[in-house]
Structures are given as structure tokens and as C-alpha cells.
């Protein structure tokens, strides 16, 4: 039997569309547990199935398909963190709302914005992520590549320095 005949026989033995349909729910649940987000989970499964389809000839035993597919999902999830992700920086409030005067224009708000701008970036970033974006301490730690305790320390110091800059205490 020639190698092209073996490839055709392997393609016929493994109906990839059926394989994807059968294992989609398990792959989606696995991806959701890995990512913690329904939209990311859907993307992970789609990307993983595309990778699996491209290398479908590597699957010799259809009974091992679920484990093979889950490995691809896990690796695809890891690739998500390898890709360059932009870091958020402490952007002055005037730039964030440029052209949209929806922010508070009172003297207190102006003083607060100026004080936040005066904070060192290592204190400003976690504070802005927590207060303006509503992220938890752990989410901030994940985003900035710090420990949760490190974020807590920076948040404490940021608030203390902000009080000093505003003349309180």
C-alpha cells in the first residue's frame, strides 16, 4: 500500500467533523476552566480544533482523541500568555477622557487627578486598575506580574502617598 493510500485510509478512519462535534462540550468545559472566561474558552476550542485538523494525521488511535484534543487546548491556552500583551500604564485622566468632558471638573477632582499623576508608576498602576477598572488584587497581580501581597503593599503605599499629596493626615 502506498503512503498516499495510507493517508486516505487514515482520513477515512477518522471523521474529524464527527470527532469535533462529539468532543466539543468536553473541550469547551476544559477551556472554560483553564481560562475562566466563556469567550476565551470558545476561541481556545476553535483555535485548538483548527490546529488539530491541520495535524489530524498524527492521531493514530481515535479512542485517544479526547486526551489528544485536551492537550492541544492546554497548549493553545499557554500560547495565549506567550503572546505579547500590552501593559496598562498610568494615563492622566485628561488623556483618558480627551474630548469627552464627562469627568468631574470640581477643584477637589482636579487636585485628586494631579495627585494621582504625581504618584510613581509602580503605585499609580495598581491603584488605577483597582479604583477605575474594578480589578481585584489577584487580577492586578496577574496583569502586572506581581504577587498578590506585592500588589497589596503597593496599594497601601499608593493610598498613603496620595493622602500626603492631598495634605491629609
CA 72 to CA 84: how far, in whole Å?
20
Phi-psi region of 145 (alpha: psi -120 to 50; beta: other; left: phi over 0): left
Would you say 117 and 89 are in contact if contact means Cβ atoms under 8 Å apart? no
Look over the chain and give the mean of its residue pLDDT values, rounded to a whole number: 79
In tens, the pLDDT along 16-43 reads: 888 889 999 999 999 999 888 889 899 9
Q: Cell numbers of 121, please?
A: 508608576
CA 109 to CA 101: how far, in whole Å?
13
The pTM score is 0.44
CA 41 to CA 31: how far, in whole Å?
5
Residue 103, phi then psi, degrees to nearest 5: -90, 165
Nearest to 13 by CA among 52, 46, 55, 56: 56
In tens, the pLDDT along 58-86 reads: 777 878 888 889 999 998 888 877 665 55
Q: Cell numbers of 91, please?
A: 494615563
In tens, the pLDDT along 102-150 reads: 556 677 777 888 888 888 888 888 988 888 888 888 989 988 888 989 9
CA 166 to CA 113: how far, in whole Å?
10
Q: What pLDDT is attached to residue 8?
A: 41
Please give the C-alpha separations between residue 143 and each of 23, 44, 140, 159, in angstroms, as whole numbers. 32, 20, 5, 20
Would you say 57 and 10 are in contact if contact means Cβ atoms under 8 Å apart? yes
Structural domains of the chain in order of their starting residue, each with its CATH number: 3-82 (1.10.1740), 93-165 (1.10.10.10)
Amino acid at each position: 500500500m502506498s503512503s498516499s493510500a495510507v493517508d486516505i485510509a487514515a482520513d477515512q478512519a477518522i471523521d474529524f467533523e464527527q470527532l469535533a462535534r462529539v468532543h466539543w462540550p468536553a473541550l469547551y468545559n476544559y477551556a472554560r476552566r483553564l481560562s475562566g472566561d466563556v469567550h476565551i474558552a470558545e476561541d481556545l476550542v476553535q483555535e485548538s480544533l483548527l490546529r488539530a485538523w491541520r495535524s489530524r494525521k498524527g492521531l493514530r488511535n481515535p479512542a485517544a482523541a479526547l486526551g489528544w484534543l485536551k492537550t492541544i487546548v492546554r497548549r493553545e491556552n499557554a500560547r495565549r500568555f506567550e503572546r505579547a500583551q500590552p501593559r496598562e500604564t498610568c494615563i492622566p485622566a485628561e488623556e483618558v477622557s480627551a474630548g469627552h468632558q464627562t469627568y468631574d471638573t470640581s477643584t477637589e477632582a482636579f487636585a485628586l487627578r494631579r495627585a494621582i499623576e504625581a504618584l510613581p508608576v509602580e503605585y499609580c498602576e495598581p491603584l488605577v486598575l483597582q479604583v477605575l477598572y474594578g480589578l481585584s488584587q489577584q487580577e492586578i497581580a496577574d496583569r502586572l506580574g506581581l504577587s498578590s501581597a506585592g500588589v497589596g503593599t503597593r496599594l497601601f503605599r499608593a493610598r498613603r502617598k496620595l493622602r500626603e499629596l492631598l495634605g491629609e493626615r
